[in-house]
Amino acid sequence: MMTPANILAALLTLLPLAAAAFFPRAVAGCARRLPGWAQMLCPAMLSVPYLLVAGAAGWFHWGWFALYSLAPVAVAILHKQAAVVDKDQHGNWRDFLVLAALGLAVDLRWLERAWPPHLAIFSKMLMLDAGIYGFIAVRQIEGAGFDLRLRLRDVGIGLREVAFYTPLALLLGLGLGFLHVHKAWPGLGAMAEAWFFTFFFIAVPEELFFRGWMQNLLERRIGRTAALLVTAALFGLAHFNKRTAFFNWRYVLLAAVAGLFYGRAWRQQRRVGASAVTHATVDAIWSLWLR
């Protein structure tokens, strides 16, 4: 897995996320300075990681290459149109169409066959990059709170929601037989490793998608409380096929309840960093000590 092609592809995949998370105004400014045609075609470069990984592994297929070239362009075009017709950013049908397409592609694993074994994480991250370019660089959606320059306040809010969720999760999870306490608990080193991996590769992408974009847009349409409930329910349903071949209703229920606390963490100051802290901490505890 640690081949030069894969490492270069990983760096190219993470670059848009890091740029938008740490320099959002610069990213939006660069996009605005491009000619209209270049602004729309620029995200086609997201096909380069696929070219590198699949080409080096002998897995390349022109159909998948076309999809990874054209899908991000379609996302950019839809967001450009949404920015024109919905200047007040109340949430346009194009925004929700993009969210549905990106979410279903990842959750239903439509694109995993494009990648060599054990490298399907690229599919999730590239779809996230397409959304980042569309929502942040082109649409310039306000209030998403995608800023990974963490503050102490973010950590405090995130851990507070972990403390609120934990008793309820233990009660439900142990009672339903979904959680199982391990006899041997790993050390702090394993916890730190699991937390950082989960934070960057699971929590941040999912929190940006569900809270920064979905809950953010739904609040403008149906209000703060309804948006929290709907987003949490959809977040739970997104886990229906995780680690199982059937509808895992226990996972859905626990994830939906967790989504309430992730959403609370995000909306207090509208910062993805805070909800990602909650999400990463919950997932790390579960994966190491309670799965």
Least confident of 10-14, 181-185, 199-203, 224-228: 181-185
Q: Which residue stretches of 108-223 are H helix? A: 121-132, 152-176, 188-198, 204-207, 216-222
Section 227-239 average pLDDT: 97
Q: Which phi-psi region, left, alpha or beta, contains residue 145 (left: φ > 0; alpha: ψ -120 to 50)? A: left
The span from the CA of 188 to the CA of 193, in Å, is 9
Residue-averaged pLDDT of the chain: 93
**pLDDT band per the 50, 70, 90 thresholds, residue 243:** low
Distance CA 202, CA 32 (A): 30
- The radius of gyration of the chain's CA atoms, rounded to the nearest angstrom, is 19
The amino acid at 157:
I
In Å, the largest CA–CA distance within the chain is: 60
Global pTM reads 0.93
258-270 residue pLDDT tens: 999 999 999 999 9
**From the CB of residue 6, how many other CB atoms can be counted at a distance below 10 Å?**
18
Cβ-in-10-Å burial (0-12, 13-18, 19+) of 274 comes to buried
Q: What are phi and psi of 35, to 5 degrees?
A: -60, 155
Encode pLDDT of 29-53 as tens digits: 888 888 989 999 999 999 999 999 9
Q: Is the dihedral of CA 58, 73, 110, 144 positive or negative?
A: positive
